[in-house]
Amino acid sequence: MDLKKSVTEENLQKALTLELHAHFGYITAARAARNAGYDLVSDIFYQTALNELEHATHEFNFLGGDKDVVENLVTAIEHENEATAFYRASSLQAEKEGFHDIAEFFTRIGIVEEGHSAKFREILHDLENNIPLKGRTVKHSALTMAELMLPAQANPAGFVHGGELMKMMDNAAGVAAARHSHTNVVTVLVNDIHFIHPVMVGSLVLINAHITYVRRSSMEVRVEVETEHISEEKRVKALTAYYTMVAVDEQGRPVEVPPLTVYTEEEIRLFKEGQERYEARKQQQK
Sites of contact with Fe ion (CB under 5 A): 52, 55, 80, 113, 116
Residue among 44 and 189 whose Cβ is closer to Fe ion: 44
Residue among 15 and 239 whose Cβ is closer to Fe ion: 15
- 274 neighbors 260 (Cβ within 8 angstroms): no
Residue among 17 and 191 whose Cβ is closer to Fe ion: 17
CB of 218 to Fe ion, least distance (A): 31
CA-to-CA distance for 282 and 191, rounded, in angstroms?
14
CB of 59 to Fe ion, least distance (A): 9
CB of 23 to Fe ion, least distance (A): 9
Classify 14 as helix, strand or coil: helix
CB of 138 to Fe ion, least distance (A): 17
Torsion of CA 134, 137, 140, 142, to 10 degrees: 140
Classify 113 as helix, strand or coil: helix
Q: What DSSP state is assigned to residue 259? A: P
Residue among 116 and 161 whose Cβ is closer to Fe ion: 116
CA-to-CA distance for 168 and 153, rounded, in angstroms?
11
CA-to-CA distance for 177 and 186, rounded, in angstroms?
9
Classify 236 as helix, strand or coil: strand
CB of 115 to Fe ion, least distance (A): 8
Residue among 119 and 161 whose Cβ is closer to Fe ion: 119
CA-to-CA distance for 87 and 105, rounded, in angstroms?
9
